[in-house]
Structure 1
Amino acid sequence: MSEVQEKPGGIRSENCQAITPHLVCAGAADAIDFYKKAFGAEEVMRLASPNGKLMHAAIKIGNASVMLVDELPEWGSSSPLTLGGSPVTLHLYVADVDAFVARAVKAGAILRMPVEDMFWGDRYGIIEDPFGHKWSVATHLRDMSGDEIEEAMKKFMPPRGSAS
């Protein structure tokens, strides 16, 4: 028996991470178009129902697979827009965070946290896509030990009640 298992719609297990995000979107086809334009995503597949709703789709962003589906409230599947937000943030490492975030904002993302050098060694910012999903985006600048990160955090976030 082959170690590679075929997934419905041609998705193969070697293309998925141990955890693969599965996004519910109000307008999954539009979300795919946005991710192509804003994130440079590559469409892998889509499976539409007879009424045009996407029952399953997949894209690649960098080396990561992301699955998408249209919201289907009758199946208990609602998007962040329907729910009034999401507590989940998806994280992407990219070669140039500044250019990536600028392209995403130009394509319609909302800048939630401007890109800055962070105390843990990444250049980092947060955007929200038009479908209510939040994305933290970073470029790794330098490796740091746990002790170095802890010391840098103390300077970044002074204890409560202290003057900054």
Structure 2
Amino acid sequence: MTVQQLYPRLVVADADAAIDFYATAFGAELVERYTDGSGNVVHALLRAGSAVWAVKDGDAVDPPPQGPGAVILALYVDDPDAVAAAVLAGGGSVIFEVSDHPYGERGGRLADPFGHAWMISARTGGLSPAEIQQRTAEAYP
């Protein structure tokens, strides 16, 4: 068996609104979009840089809008402050403010308007895995 691709598929109440939000907040481009006979989005693939994810309309229970669900989507960007501002401008909310972290990253956690948690980060230091482990253990005893 060979794994060919893995990407998250986000179930949302309004896939077209989510597509617009992700295009504005993350610079995502719509790669493909398919609907059922009544016009509901059954699959829309998005790409921003090398990140790929999908959205679909659905009746499934979305994650709570203010708290992390079972999954946190990690997105590395050039400017986490600018991306966080775009998320907030588009109706998202802050879970954890963007700040500098001792393990060599600047980032924060935000919820998009559809209830999904995103960790928006940039690597700020060229730390080794051992240095990251040491700093993490010291920061979070």
- TM over 0.5: same fold? yes
1:63 equivalent to 2:46? Answer no
Structure with the larger RCO, 1 or 2 (CA within 8 Å, 6+ apart): 2
Q: Which runs of 5+ in 1 are unaligned?
A: 1-16, 159-164
Local SS of the residue matching 1:80: coil
- Partner of 1:92 in structure 2? 75
| 1:146 is the counterpart of 2:129 | yes
1:101 counterpart (59, 67, 84)? 84
Q: Distance in 2 between matches of 1:21 and 1:141?
A: 26
Name structure 2 gaps, 5 residues minimum.
none
Please name the residue that 1:125 is paired with.
108
What SS does the aligned partner of 2:119 have?
Answer: strand
* TM-score (normalizing by structure 2): 0.87
Q: Indicate if the aligned counterparts of 2:62 and 2:114 stay in contact, CA closer than 8 A.
A: yes
2:40 is aligned to 53
The separation in 1 between residues aligned to 2:45 and 2:130, in whole angstroms, is 40
CA displacement at 1:58 relative to structure 2? 0.8
Q: Aligned to 2:93, which of 95, 99, 110?
A: 110
Give, as a single letter, the amino acid of the residue that structure 2 aligns with 1:128.
A
Equivalent pair of 2:44/2:55 in contact (CA under 8 Å): yes
Kept in 1, the 8 Å contact 2:68–2:117? The answer is: no
C-alpha contact 1:89 1:134 (8 A) present in aligned 2: yes
Where 1:142 maps in the other structure, the secondary structure is coil
TM-score normalised according to structure 1 size: 0.75
Richer in strand (by share): 2
State the identity %: 37
CA separation of 1:42/1:145 partners in 2, compared to 1, >3 Å: closer, same or farther?
same
* 4+ residue segments displaced more than 3 Å: none
- Kindly indicate which of the two structures has a greater share of residues assigned to helix: 1
Q: Does 1:23 align with 2:10?
A: yes
